Structure 1
Amino acid sequence: MTFHHTSRIALLFAIAFATTALSVTPSLAFSSEAQQMCTGDAMRLCGHEVPNVQRITACMVRQRANLSPGCRAVMERGHAARRRAAAAE
């Protein structure tokens, strides 16, 4: 399946947003690591939602169990950071 340039941008934005939703560290969400680790998963698992960023984001969160190990690790690090910050409040 071929995605248009605009769709790829929407997909990358959704990956960053999904990671941000689970993170208190925006730099992690927008890191090249997050994009590198999660773009393939987003296309494979949630490509049918492109270009709707909110739906891609929701799909990535729902599909957490089906993510590749690298993408899951990036998202789980963000989630762990959010839990630590909430516990410190």
Structure 2
Amino acid sequence: MRTSLIGIGLGACLTALTLGSATQALAEATSAQRAACTPDVWRLCAGEIPSIPGITACLRREKPKLSPACREVMNEADRPRIARPVASNERKS
């Protein structure tokens, strides 16, 4: 039972760290992004499971030790997002 709870917590944590803000990331993380960081979470940050902020902080702190794939995910998460204008249904006169 404990193993399955850890797995569920790990999946949620990895989802949250992949794209920057936890709430946006929970909806947008891909399985490839989670797969890229799962081994690093177990290797470097297992003591932080199931704390999403703890795992995220740990991975950022341990960035030099991350695998190349997880480092790329973290670099992408740390890049500033450019807001795009929302299209309007109004017609110009």
TM-score, normalised with respect to structure 1: 0.71
Moved over 6 A (4+): none
Do the aligned partners of 1:49 and 1:56 also contact (CA within 8 Å) in 2? yes
State the Cα distance separating 1:29 from its structure 2 match.
Answer: 5.2
How many percent identity over aligned positions?
A: 32
| TM-aligned CA distance change 1:28 to 1:85, over 3 Å | farther
Q: Distance in 2 between matches of 1:66 and 1:59?
A: 11
Q: Distance in 2 between matches of 1:27 and 1:58?
A: 16
Partner of 1:79: 78
| TM-aligned CA distance change 1:27 to 1:85, over 3 Å | farther
2:3 partner letter: H
| TM-aligned CA distance change 1:40 to 1:28, over 3 Å | farther
State the Cα distance separating 1:21 from its structure 2 match.
Answer: 2.2
State the Cα distance separating 1:72 from its structure 2 match.
Answer: 0.6
Structure 1, unpaired ranges of 5+ = none
State the Cα distance separating 1:51 from its structure 2 match.
Answer: 2.5
Higher relative contact order (CA 8 A, sep 6+): 1
Q: Would you tell me which structure has more helix in proportion to its own residues?
A: 1
Q: What is the alpha-carbon root mean square deviation over aligned residues? A: 2.9
Partner of 1:66: 65
Aligned: 1:43 with 2:42: yes
TM-score, normalised with respect to structure 2: 0.69
Q: Whose radius of gyration is greater, 1 or 2?
A: 2
Q: Distance in 1 between matches of 2:26 and 2:47?
A: 27
How many residues end up aligned between the 2 structures? 83
State the Cα distance separating 1:31 from its structure 2 match.
Answer: 0.4
